[in-house]
Structure 1
Amino acid sequence: MLKRTLIGLMSLLVIGVGGFAALAWRPAIAPITPPAVSSFAPDLVARGAVLAGAGYCATCHTAPGGAPYAGGYAMQTGFGTIYSTNITPEVETGIGSWSEAAFRRAMHSGVSRDGSHLFPAFPYDHFTKLTDADVAALYAYMMTRTPVRAAPLENGLPFPLNLRPLQAGWKLLFFQPGRYVEQPARGEVWNRGAYLAEGISHCGACHTPRNALGAEERGNAFAGAPIDHWVAPPLTKANPSPVPWSQDELVTYLRRGVSRFHGVAAGPMSPVVHDGLARLPDADIAALGLYFADVGQAAARAAEAQPAIERALAMNAHDPGLPYDPTARLYAAACASCHFNGGGQVNALRPDLALNSAVSLSDPTNLIRVMLYGVTAREGAPGIVMPGFAPALSDADIARIAAYLRATRTSHPAWPDLEKTVAAVRAQGRGQE
């Protein structure tokens, strides 16, 4: 009886392993000789350049100080470090031997030319929504870049997470392949914004929380999430900013990297605006603005804006703690001269901290990072610099100012363990440049 039971269990195991192997197997696609650059129509290449910008391909596939698109950019995940790959048309270490069919399969299905499954750090769960025409344009652009020989770096994933066949199981659970399906009742502009946001620009990859297996929580889209030691704020009505993100503010922010009522694009959002979306035409930026204004229910919250602005300006005009509160005086010495707004107006280049998104978030990380490391001339508003106070102020000083702003500029509860959080953020350093 025991022998028959063991034989049965072994048979089930063999069948299970065989079934999973069949599920995971994908055929290789034959390599090709790289097509001549002249074989791609210039207008197709130009269109691909716009799409590559919208997809932040250079941002993720270029290591700090490295050649464009040659890979090696370190992406920290909850499971270990994954390095981006070389997507230049170099034959041995890049995608020079990839046919358009192989490239399209990678974009739509997350499978490499050799048949191996790609890790979802490559956002094929968003790129699957792209039309074949847009994938063809991206292929034309990538295959006309300068080939760079750059061998892939070894990922820092532990066993068995480093086994690519296991990605087939992940896909079975979390991946929904298929092109974007329009919603005609929403109108052409809204659908264009949705196609960009959910597809090539993969906004949910940063702004949507992930489950324990690293998949986006689809039922909680755009609800905010930690990313690269920052916090990507909610894009839904849950965003705690005092002034709701209107369509006009979204368009201005996505086009220029600065919002009068929310602050500037810093951290991971800076290259999104200045290196990626900068290539999109104004019509596409307007479409993204319309789409996310709808996601955030901006119209329903419009009445909240003016009272919030008036409260912020009133606080600028009279800070009751300044004469006797040492922390208020520290804030006045370090911050107030640049962040003061008066005359009944808010100046976009002097962000009002009573309105700034970072002060209202439930997590103080963004505020602390900006206080410690500042905002460079190529981030945020072009040419405007905020100095970092990491060399000048202690963890306790930074924590005091953050607590003061939270208490005086918002009605939200105090952040706990601020000094410990400041120390942790300082230990992380500024991050990749």
Structure 2
Amino acid sequence: MKKRIFLAGIAGAGLLGGLGFLAYAWHPAIADITPPAASSFSAEQVERGRIVAAEGYCAECHTRTDLGGGPEFAGDYQMKTPFGAIYTSNITPDPQTGIGKWSEEAFRRAMHRGISRDGGNLIPAFPYDHFTKMTDQDISDLYAYMMTRPAVHLTHRPNELPFPLNIRLLQAGWKLLFFKQGVYQPDPTHDALWNRGAYLAEGVAHCGSCHTPRNLMGAEKSGSTYDGAVVDGWIAPPLNANNPTPTTWNEDELYAYLRNGVAPLHGSAGGPMSPVPHRFLSTVPEEDVHAIAHYFAFVDNAAVRAKHDKDALALAMNQSSVDLTHPVVDPDAKLYQGACAGCHYNSAPTPASGRPELALNNALWLDEPTNLYQAILRGFTAEEGQAGVVMPSFYNALSDKDMARLAAYLRRTRTTLPPWTDLEKKAAAARATVETIPVNSSH
């Protein structure tokens, strides 16, 4: 009898728990609307919304890049995740395939709570865990901007998530574990510039989505904020004091990098980071970029770390100096001179603009040679890095063994860190992530 009562109690508790979860996970649909006329929004609000969209890089994830590309904001961008491919939504005001029938209330609920207009829980590849921090005004402005874009009729491909991850109701379990809802609250111990930067970085710009490692459930690891992570085959480096570069990412360097795509002492923006300065942050008010730079200079403890910058710069310039008038004996140095030194040679006292100093670059100081290999294989187009400066792809010119030799040479001559391991194997792995690049291509 006692056993039956015990089991009945467990079953009852399970039933109540299940009902409680359903109550938490289920959300009503919000009635659709007739798409609002573009003229119903003021030009000032639409412009403010454009800035919010640029600071959130909305077009980057909501514009298809494979299959020949697609219209801006029409979705169907393939996001590769450890759980399967996810295809982004059409956020143009098309009534059938986009958000034309979404009210501002529905739009705000999606941004703040990760719930679609029909009541379904959104997959957290959409970073509502950051967008929840946005103010109602910014969301209202963003809504105005999106509703005044050209409507595009385009249905995204079905997501490729396995059972049970494809059940939207169960996405609420992820929220229970990892989602904290709430608009950003200013920190009274910091000034307005710091708080503006924190709001942008932690909210609409969702910097942690790329620069924070994730756990097995795909959530950002608690206690590891801005520690760096792997994104699309590249390493998004740490943005905090764990960043290994010998010279500090101070506020000026951060601003130059975020605004122009190149920082004098750290190099150029490439890979998934390249569109951030070139396509987006170069189009927003300078004061907002300054605010983000100000915030991250605090996060990486720049004021303290910068005390050693002068010595680190002097050492780096000495390490990178190459006397081209004397014959080179080291075969790896010969390879470097033939492939790289013509562009990456610098002399004291500081690196030349457009000539990234590898001794100061994240690519050589990270735990893995990933970013170095990606830069070698892909190169940089005129639209990446510094405007008009091109680095050719060495995909066809250098073998995996050649890249391994270059990586070993640069690591031992340009850093004070232990050598990387399995370099040729890792070169082959990096090559496998890059589409074949035609001979004589500059990218």
Find out whether 1:43 has 2:44 as its counterpart: yes
Q: Distance in 2 between matches of 1:239 and 1:7?
A: 55
In the alignment, does 2:55 pair up with 1:54?
A: yes
Question: When the two structures are aligned, how many residues end up with a matched partner?
Answer: 432
Equivalent position SS for 2:246: coil
* TM-score normalised per structure 1: 0.96
Map of 2:352 onto structure 1: 347
SS in 1 for 2:151: coil
Q: 2:202 corresponds to which letter in structure 1?
A: E
Structure 1 residues 203-259: Cα deviation after superposition (integer angstroms, max 9, x where no partner) = 000001111111112321111111111100001111000111011111111110001
Q: CA deviation at 1:353?
A: 0.8
1:134 match: 138
Q: Counterparts in 2 of 1:147-226, with a 5 A limit?
A: 147-226=151-230
Q: Contact 1:223/1:233 (CA < 8 Å) preserved in 2?
A: yes
SS for the counterpart of 1:186 is coil
Alignment check: 8 A CA contact 1:396 1:419 kept:
yes
Q: Return 1-10 or 83-92, whichever deviates more.
A: 1-10
Moved more, 275-284 or 92-101: 275-284
Q: Quick one: distance in 2 between partners of 1:51 and 1:43? A: 13
Mapped partners of 2:57, 2:390: distance in 1:
24
Corresponding residue for residue 81 of structure 1: 85
- 2:247 alignment partner, SS class: coil
State which of 405, 408, 414 in structure 2 corresponds to 1:403: 408
Correspondence 1:383-402 to 2 at 5 A:
383-402=388-407
Distance 1:429 1:314 in 2: 34
Q: Equivalents in 1 of 2:328, 2:382: separation in Å?
A: 34
SS in structure 1 of the partner of residue 252 of structure 2: helix
Say whether residues 1:417 and 2:402 are aligned partners. no
Letter in 1 for 2:232: D
Question: How many Å apart are 1:19 and its aligned residue?
Answer: 2.4
Cα offset for 1:52? 0.1
Whole-Å Cα distance in 2 between the matches of residues 318 and 387 of structure 1? Answer: 22
Alpha-carbon distance in structure 2 between the residues aligned to 1:369 and 1:192: 34
Question: Amino acid of the residue matched to residue 301 of structure 1?
Answer: R
Q: How far, CA to CA, are the matches of 1:310 and 1:200 in structure 2?
A: 38
Q: 2:377–2:434: 8 Å Cα contact kept in structure 1?
A: no
78-87 or 50-59: bigger deviation: 78-87
The C-alpha deviation readout for 1:127-171, integer Å capped at 9, x for no partner, is 111110100000000000011111121111111111111111111
SS in 1 for 2:203: helix
TM-score (norm 2): 0.94
> What SS is found at the alignment partner of 1:219?
coil
In structure 2, the residue matched to 1:143 is 147
Does the 8 A contact of 1:354 with 1:409 survive in 2?
Answer: yes
Q: Which moved more, 1:318-327 or 1:369-378?
A: 318-327
Residue 15 (1) aligns with residue 12 (2): no
3-state SS of 2:52 partner: helix
Q: Does the 8 Å contact 2:320/2:414 carry over to 1?
A: no
Report the AA paired with residue 137 of structure 1: D
**Aligned in 2, Cα 1:329/1:49: closer, same or farther, shift over 3 Å?**
same
CA shift, 1:10, in A, is: 4.8
Match of 1:327 in 2: 332
Question: Which one of 361, 366, 385 corresponds to residue 366 of structure 2?
Answer: 361
- In 2, Cα distance between the equivalents of 1:319 and 1:204? 42
Distance in 1 (alpha carbons) for counterparts of 2:321 and 2:26: 67
Could you report, residue by residue, the CA deviation over 1:88-147 in whole angstroms, capped at 9, with x for unpaired residues? 000111100000000000000000000000011111111111110100000000000011
2-structure distance, mates of 1:181, 1:366: 36
Which SS does the other structure have where 1:45 is aligned?
A: helix
Q: Is 300-309 or 231-240 further displaced after alignment?
A: 300-309
Q: Which residue of 1 aligns with 2:431?
A: 426
Q: How far apart, in 1, do the equivalents of 2:156 and 2:9 lie?
A: 43
Asked whether the 8 Å contact 1:322–1:328 carries over to 2, the reply is no
Query: 2:107 touches 2:143 (CA, 8 Å); kept in 1?
Result: yes
> Given residue 155 of structure 2, which amino acid in structure 1 is its aligned partner?
A
Counterpart of 1:372 in structure 2 is 377
Return 12-21 or 365-374, whichever deviates more.
Answer: 12-21
Q: Tell me the SS of whatever aligns to 2:101.
A: coil
Three-state SS of the structure 2 residue aligned to 1:185 is: coil
Pick from 103, 106, 127 the counterpart of residue 102 of structure 1.
Answer: 106
Amino acid in the other structure paired with 1:50: I
- Is the counterpart of residue 125 in structure 1 residue 129 in structure 2? yes
Question: C-alpha separation between the residues in 2 aligned to 1:290 and 1:218?
Answer: 23
Quick one: distance in 2 between partners of 1:17 and 1:236? 41
Give me the whole-angstrom Cα distance separating, in 1, the residues matched to 2:380 and 2:322. 27
Matched AA of 1:359? L
Distance 1:265 1:75 in 2: 21
Q: Provide the residue aligned with 1:33 in structure 2.
A: 34
- Work out the CA distance in 1 between the residues paired with 2:383 and 2:36: 36
From the superposition, tell whether residues 23 and 319 of structure 1 become closer, same or farther in structure 2 (CA, over 3 Å): farther
- Determine whether 1:116 maps to 2:120: yes
**CA positional deviation for 1:355:** 0.9
What residue is the counterpart of 1:336 in the other structure?
341
Alignment check: 8 A CA contact 2:250 2:297 kept:
yes
Shift of 1:430: 4.7
Inter-partner Cα distance in structure 1 for 2:373 and 2:404: 8
Maintained 8 Å contact 2:318/2:348: no
Over the residues paired in the alignment, what is the CA RMSD in angstroms?
A: 1.8
- 1:267 deviates by 0.5
Please identify, of 125-134 and 275-284, the stretch whose mean Cα deviation from structure 2 is larger: 275-284
